[in-house]
Amino acid sequence: MTTEMTSRIFASVPDAEGRFGVYGGKFVAETLMSALSELEALYRKLSQDAEFQRELDEDLAHYVGRPSPLYEARRWSDRVGGARIYLKREDLNHTGAHKVNNTVGQALLAKHMGKRRVIAETGAGQHGVATATIAARLGLECHVFMGEEDVRRQALNVYRMKLLGATVVPVTSGSRTLKDAMNEAMRDWVTNVDDTFYVIGTVAGPHPYPMLVRDFQCVIGREARAQSLARTGRLPDALVACVGGGSNAIGLFHPFLEDEAVAMYGVEAGGHGVASGEHAAPLSAGTPGILHGNRTYLMQDEDGQIMHTHSVSAGLDYPGVGPEHSWLKDIGRVNYVTINDDEALRAFHDLTRTEGIMPALESAHALAYAEKLAATMTPEQHIIINLSGRGDKDIHTVADIDGTDF
Amino acid sequence: MSKIAGRFQQLAAQGRKALIPYIVAGDPEMALTVPLMHALVAAGADIIELGVPFSDPMSEGPVIQKAHERALANGARLRDALDMVQTFRERDADTPVLLMGYANPVEHMGYGVFADRAAEAGVDGLLTVDIPPEEVAGVNAELHRVGMDNIFLVAPTTPSARIKAIVDQASGFIYYVALKGVTGAGNLDAADVARHLALIREHTTLPLAVGFGIKDAASARLVGASADGVVVGSALVACVARAASEGVDHEGLVRAASALVAEIRAGLDSIASR
């Protein structure tokens, strides 16, 4: 395959129907179809609009605090051995994770559409906080749907959202985690579609969401690519990012897709181990199906029912994944791997102690895989890890596992 | 002509409206679904809409969500729903049966396998909430191969151009969603429904049934005045759930469901006789 052909493939998705190969699409109830068309038309127009881009860049620079640094983790690299490791510091963004890159973008869309109310689903609470934050800034009413189980394990973020003026709605149906929060957000949207903008937090959901969330998150990879060239005079040899729905991963990977020499690793939550069945790794152990408006790899049983998932990290605890990742897996451009709970926890402590950077448990999955990968590489080679969020929100989870009471 | 189209034609000739009750396969117990289907027919149902349990019923309000959860806990899956229709057909060859559910269980079984098994079981139509006309080509080809109807939703938010695209793919009847919201919501506006039905009629001669928010004889009568049929879901599912939670025996539970359907039947027939 020539480079020119390759680049045309990556630029050609999604197609007009929102498909990435056989994945993606718009599988939602009829009531939402015209809202999706309206959003798509507006987005296609605004994404070509210089004034909109200027507004977005302004927010990213002065509100989010971009660009985020590309930090060489020297001590940790020395300790791990092998390749040199750089961290893309999305944890330093306002609100502490990559999620805000997307919410400032979608909030601008909501403003252009004249919506007075925004809703969001959240797992770890980072997307909920990022949505509540931008809603506070724009004076929009904000409702965040969160599984009851996640409300319990992410109490800090729940309180942050309340302080920001959002209403947090605990979801008690199904498995009481992220997928059920998304069901409930869809139900709210279908009921209040006239005045409500649904701020989806990941590259999943019906078209155009996987496309527009990707576009808003691509700032991560664009910066990382330029920073790598400026700092080291060349591109990295490998990229590593965790994958729940997959927004931080697609944001880092996408601007490098045409760079054939750059290897990419998407790290799914292995939970208690893929063999145990208690995990959240649809790309590694699932099959294609339809959920939450798109066709993608899912964790499902032999009857097409969606299975319960497990991960120590609430943000990865989701049975589906963005459709573009499904496509990138099938065409072989990205390698999808798993890291178990205990490995992620070990990496959480390692990075905290050697670099003074406390990662989110989601990002710790990427760190743990990069440790294994670096050991197989040479000191002349570089890895960029997306450090997608900071770990403050996970302190209670880590303390519980360590048996510490504070 | 399909059994569903035939039933609407027959009702129209009699000046009557179709009554389409919805229950979830396997709720509240596996063994009750087929007896309930027969009882609904005896109480005046014209078409049975059988819900296929799904783990993530995104368009359902709390009442039907819980019914899906109960049915799944009882072990009910798509293949059980098909078995139930097959058993129902042993005693009722005439009443059209429609499966209503979500894309994934059907997709996972495979559109072709589903079509064959559904046709063999005696299913007459399929309504998947989350397969809009843009995504329907694959499943429609298989349904048409076995002569099965695909029922589509039209919503209050559907613009005129989309109505045309939808009715071009549809057969049997059109299911008009009476309100913006999930099943079982309460804000039904009969005048608004009548306006939308008139709009849909500009594009199709297919019969129009209305669902979402119809809970008793009065609301059925209001909506039935402008529609060719009404779907009653949450009210019936709630009636069955209430009886089950009160520990009523099978016979009493079936009686309670029949009484509600008979009451709505009388409400609908009072339009026809006017």
* Pairwise CA distance, residues B214 & B226, whole Å: 14
- According to DSSP, residue A149 is labeled H
Do A175 and A46 belong together in one domain? yes
Beta-bridge partner residues of A383: A85, A238
B134–A17 CB contact, under 8 Å = yes
Q: Indicate whether A163 and A28 sit together in one domain.
A: yes
Last residue of a domain, one of A197, A213, A229: A213
Chain B residue with the nearest C-alpha to that of A183: B58
Looking at chain A, the number of H-run helices and the number of E-run strands are 17, 14
Q: What is the pLDDT of residue A354?
A: 98
A52: pLDDT confidence band, cut at 50, 70 and 90?
very high
Enumerate residues 6+ apart whose C-beta is below 8 A from B113.
none
pLDDT tens per residue across span A259-278: 999 999 999 999 999 999 99
Q: A174: pLDDT confidence band, cut at 50, 70 and 90? A: confident
Contact assignment for B180 to A33 by CB distance below 8 Å: no
| Nearest to A353, CA basis, from A398, A393, A301, A294 | A398
Nearest alpha carbon to residue B218 among B232, B199, B207, B200: B232
Asked if A38 and A76 sit in the same domain, the reply is no
**Same structural domain, A80 and A118:** no
Confidence band, pLDDT 50/70/90 cuts, at residue B30: very high
The conformational region for residue B147 under phi > 0 = left, psi -120 to 50 = alpha, else beta, is left
Structural domain total, chain A: 2
In a mutational test of the B interface, the residue from A32, A40, A207, A290 whose CB has the highest number of chain B CBs within 10 Å is: A290
- 3-class DSSP state of A66: coil
- Establish whether the linkage from the previous residue to A67 is cis, with ω within 30° of 0: yes
Interatomic CA distance for residues A242 and B271, integer angstroms: 61
CA–CA distance, A179 with A42 (Å, rounded to integer): 27
H or E segment and range at residue A187: helix A178-191
Of A34, A35, A306, the CB nearest to B55: A306
Q: Do residues A300 and A289 lie in contact, with contact meaning Cβ atoms separated by under 8 Å?
A: yes
Same domain, A175 and A239: no
- Band of pLDDT at residue B239, cut at 50, 70 and 90: very high
Residue A292 in domain:
yes
- Per DSSP, A176 falls in state S
Residue A351 tokens read as 């990075």
- State how far residue A267 is from chain B, nearest Cα, in angstroms: 25
Q: What angle do CA A229, A231, A237 make, to 5 degrees?
A: 55
Q: What chain A residue is nearest to B69 in terms of C-alpha separation?
A: A174
Is A187 found in the same domain as A257? no
In a domain, A190, yes or no: yes
Q: Which of B108, B129, B163, B177 to mutate to test the interface with A (most CBs of A within 10 A)?
A: B108
pLDDT at B55: 97
Q: How many domains does chain B have?
A: 1
Distance CA A303, CA B254 (A): 29
**CA-to-CA separations, A221 to A57, A90, A216, B255, in angstroms, rounded:** 15, 11, 11, 64
Measured CA to CA in angstroms, residue A330 lies from A204, A210, A287, A324, A389 at distances of 17, 17, 12, 10, 28
Give how far the C-alpha of residue B227 lies from the chain's centroid of Cα atoms, to the nearest Å. 15
The dihedrals phi and psi of A337, each to the nearest 5 degrees, come to -130, 175
User: Which residues of chain A neighbour B130 with C-beta distances below 8 Å?
Assistant: 27-29, 290, 293
Residues B203/B167, Cβ–Cβ less than 8 Å: yes
Please, are residues B24 and B68 in contact by the beta-carbon 8 Å criterion?
A: yes
Best CA proximity match to B127, nearest among B117, B140, B138, B137: B140
Considering the domain architecture, whether residues A197 and A286 belong to the same structural domain is answered as: no
The reply to whether A14 falls in a domain is no
Residue B31 has pLDDT above 60, yes or no: yes
Please say if the pLDDT value at position A2 is more than 70. no
- The two tokens of residue A184 are 């409930």
Query: Residue A5: its pLDDT value, please?
Result: 52
- Among chain B residues, the shortest Cα distance to A293 is held by B130
What is the CATH number for B266?
A: 3.20.20.70
Which of chain A's residues have a Cβ under 8 Å away from the Cβ of B180?
31, 190-194
Whether residue A12 lies inside any domain: the answer is no
Report whether pLDDT(A327) > 50: yes
Query: In degrees to the nearest 10, what's the CA dihedral of B155, B156, B160, B166?
Result: 10
Q: d(Cα A98, Cα B180) in Å, to the nearest integer? A: 33
Report the gap between the CA of A300 and the closest CA in chain B (Å).
9
pLDDT band at A285 (very low <50, low <70, confident <90, very high): very high
The whole-angstrom distance between A214's CA and the closest CA on chain B is 23
In a domain, A5, yes or no: no
User: Which chain B residues are Cβ-neighbours of A286 within 8 angstroms?
Assistant: none
Give the list of residues 6+ apart from residue A12 with CB closer than 8 angstroms, or none: none
- How confident is the model over B108-154, as pLDDT tens digits? 999 999 999 999 999 999 999 999 999 999 999 999 999 999 999 99
- If phi > 0 it is left, if psi is from -120 to 50 it is alpha, else beta; for residue B247 that is left
When scoring B104, B111, B131, B210 by the number of chain A Cβ atoms within 10 A, the one with the most, hence best to mutate, is: B104
Distance of alpha carbon B148 from its chain centroid, rounded? 15
Question: What's the pLDDT tens digit per position in A94-115?
Answer: 999 999 999 999 999 999 999 9
Helix (H) or strand (E) holding A23: strand A23-27
Tens digit of each residue's pLDDT (9 = 90 or more) over A380-402: 999 999 999 999 999 999 999 99
Quote the domain boundaries for residue A336.
66-96+217-402
**Residues B146-194 pLDDT 10s:** 999 999 999 999 999 999 999 999 999 999 999 888 888 777 899 999 9
Contacts of B182 in chain A (CB under 8 A): 187, 190-191
Question: Do both A71 and A112 map to the same domain?
Answer: no
Q: Per-residue pLDDT for A36 more than 80? A: yes
Which residue, A194, A213, A232, sits at the end of a domain? A213
| DSSP-derived 3-state class of residue A129 | helix
Q: Could B104 and A190 be called an inter-chain contact, meaning their C-beta atoms sit closer than 8 Å?
A: no
C-beta atoms of B108 and A17 within 8 A: no
Tell me, yes or no, whether A157 and A178 share the same domain.
yes
Average pLDDT, chain A: 95
For residue A11, tell me if it sits in a domain: no
Q: Which residue has the tokens 């620079």?
A: A61
State whether A157 and A197 are in the same domain. Answer: yes
| Distance in angstroms (rounded) separating the CA atoms of residues A326 and B4 | 39
Which residues of A are catalytically annotated?
99, 121, 388
A1 pLDDT band, cuts 50/70/90, is: very low
Give the domain CATH number at A178.
Answer: 3.40.50.1100
Q: How far is CA A196 from CA A136, A199, B148, in A?
A: 15, 9, 37
Dist. CA A403–CA A382, nearest whole Å: 37
Distance from the Cα of residue B151 to its chain's centroid: 9
- Out of B131, B162, B177, closest to residue A27 by CB: B131
Confidence at B1, pLDDT banded by 50, 70, 90: confident
DSSP-based three-state secondary structure for B177:
strand
Q: Could you tell me which residues come within 8 angstroms of residue A395 by beta carbon, excluding any fewer than 6 positions away? A: A156
For chain A, say whether B24 makes contact (Cβ under 8 Å). no
Domain boundary among A147, A178, A213: A213
Q: What are phi and psi of A102, to 5 degrees?
A: -80, -40
Q: Clarify whether residues A120 and A84 are in a common domain.
A: no
Which chain A residues are within 8 Å of B166, Cβ to Cβ?
Answer: 30
Q: Return the pLDDT at B273.
A: 54
The CA distance from A188 to the nearest CA of chain B, in Å, is 8
ipTM of the complex: 0.95
Q: Are residues A320 and A385 in the same domain?
A: yes
Is A1 part of a structural domain of the chain? no
Under an 8 A CB cutoff, do A173 and B162 touch?
A: no
User: What does the buried/exposed string (b/e) look like for B40-74 if buried means 16 or more CB atoms within 10 Å of the residue's CB?
Assistant: bbebbbbbbbbbbbbbbbbbbbebbbbbbbbbbeb
Over the stretch A289-312, which tens digit does the pLDDT of each residue have? 999 999 999 999 999 999 999 999
Domain span at residue B260 reads: 3-272
Share of chain B above pLDDT 70, in %: 99
